[in-house]
Structure 1
Amino acid sequence: MYELENERQQNCVEEPLVELKGIRKIFGSNRVLDDVNLSINRGEALAIIGPSGTGKSTILRIIAGLLAPDQGDIYVAGQQRVGLIDDSPDPIRIGMVFQQAALFDSLSVDENVGFFLYQHSRLARSEIRQLVDEALEMVGLPGIADRYPAELSGGMRKRVSFARAVIANPENPHDRPDLLLYDEPTAGLDPIASTVIEDLIREMQQGQACSSYVMVTHQDSTIRRTADRVSFLHQGKIQWSGSVADIDETDNALVRQFFSGNVEGPIHVVG
């Protein structure tokens, strides 16, 4: 009996949070994803990299349940997903941080961060405000709840979107995300602001926010400072996967060209 229980627990630990099998997605005549297989494990920091326009953000939206693949299977915590996230809830919560922060300009930071709770919970406004203040403190932005997005820098807006992604209803522990998806979290930021965001992402992983995440990024520093494992997407397929340490050791021509910035190589520059 003990051995069976031990085996069951071991299998549970090893089961991927999310698994994509044979995923295809076509927009018009463009096959963006072509038989993509990808696993995301609990506690893992995965970066999906590759040239622009290769479907990296499309993968994030499919993982989030915002976009359905044309072919292939998606398993979330071992359970096959059918349809989109609105069709049937996943067994775990997946949060997403969009590239442009996607804040409501007409709402205060408080209303942006606590939007889901204000709309869908029975918590008192004072309780939600306290949770908002705690989330803002977590991302290093105490005391800004009454400001509006137009009053914030680009880096601050990014951090507000992080706070919104991790805020949870204490009456429903399942609201806290098990997996966060970051779409270009340091895009458009100067090197110092990028470092602040990179450090915050790691601090949130090591703290109480969310221990697993997938990130789409082009920036070398972000890849090296925030990822454990890297998957290279090109021409609709995962062409290479390895650890961050493997980046400088691999003979893969795609990876070497990507990180060197050389215009000569298998990645063709368009335009």
Structure 2
Amino acid sequence: MSVEPLIELKGICKTFGDKVILDNVDLDIYPGEALVIIGPSGAGKSTILRIIAGLLAPDAGEIYIRGQQRKGLIEDKQDPLGISMVFQQSALFDSLSVAENVGFFLYQHSRLPERKIRQLVEEKLEMVGLPGISHQYPAQLSGGMRKRVSFARAIMSNPEDSRYNPEVILYDEPTAGLDPIASTVIEDLVRRLQHAAEVCGTYVMVSHQESTIRRTADRVVFLYDGQIQWQGSVKEIDLTDNPLVRQFFSASVDGPIRVIN
């Protein structure tokens, strides 16, 4: 019995000005999958994430969420599937406490009492390894801690309305700017959350850091020149003869990937 994809991108195109970012991209995302999209800077990786999240509309093509075609942006109509996004710079509100950041969606879109929201916030902070910091503010936290707070916000669910509970998490460069040890903490956390009870088990990540790609991916998709040029498992990275993949992981300036000075 074949497994139906949770999310399907069909013929997705996107341009900014006269620059073609995505050119007829097809991509399926399956339940329980750990998919990492890689490629050089400017290849359109983050653009794909924003289109999947419903924050950006494609110029052409179709998006299906659990078999239902999405029309417009996420603000126009709720998807039949909860999708959360962790942004590259964490995107926390500096003027709000950690508790207010993590519980932001519930404060804005639920009728849960303050005490219940606080309880849920503490549970999520515990899951990301940050108990007891709910009273602090983003400026008081390290870069790695801010990343983990953004993870806690992304996995927040509403026990009274399952329609809003995330089933897919989108990670945009979650280890960017972190030292190797902090990166390992984040990589381990991504995998741990995937297998945690009551947390979505599917994620799509954009990354260019080799350790993150190798430690968090089940399937790797290589994006370049607006199209998917290669895909395979982590093990296949070292076996493929694809010149784009070989150049990317060898960090060579010689090869088909154009070097931008």
Structure with greater Cα Rg: 1
Amino acid at match of 1:96: M
Q: CA deviation at 1:175?
A: 2.1
Counterpart secondary structure, 1:241: strand
Matched, 1:210 2:191: no
Determine what percentage of the aligned residue pairs are the same residue.
Answer: 70
Aligned residues: 260
Q: What does 1:90-239 correspond to in 2, within 5 Å? A: 90-208=79-197, 209-239=199-229
Aligned counterpart in structure 1 of residue 246 of structure 2, from 237, 256, 259: 256
Contact 2:35 2:218 in 1 (8 A): yes
Q: 1: distance between equivalents of 2:85 and 2:165?
A: 12
* Ranges of 4+ aligned residues in structure 1 off by more than 6 Å: none
Amino acid at match of 2:23: D
Q: 1: distance between equivalents of 2:104 and 2:220?
A: 33
Contact 2:80 2:163 in 1 (8 A): no
Q: CA deviation at 1:138?
A: 0.4
RMSD: 0.7
- TM-score normalized by structure 1? 0.95
Q: CA deviation at 1:94?
A: 0.5
Q: 1: distance between equivalents of 2:260 and 2:158?
A: 46
Amino acid at match of 2:36: A
2:75 counterpart residue number = 86
1:35 counterpart residue number = 24
Q: 1: distance between equivalents of 2:106 and 2:114?
A: 9
Q: CA deviation at 1:173?
A: 2.0
Amino acid at match of 1:243: S
Q: 1: distance between equivalents of 2:183 and 2:165?
A: 25
Amino acid at match of 2:111: R
1:69 counterpart residue number = 58
Amino acid at match of 1:187: A
- TM-score normalized by structure 2? 0.99
Counterpart secondary structure, 2:166: coil
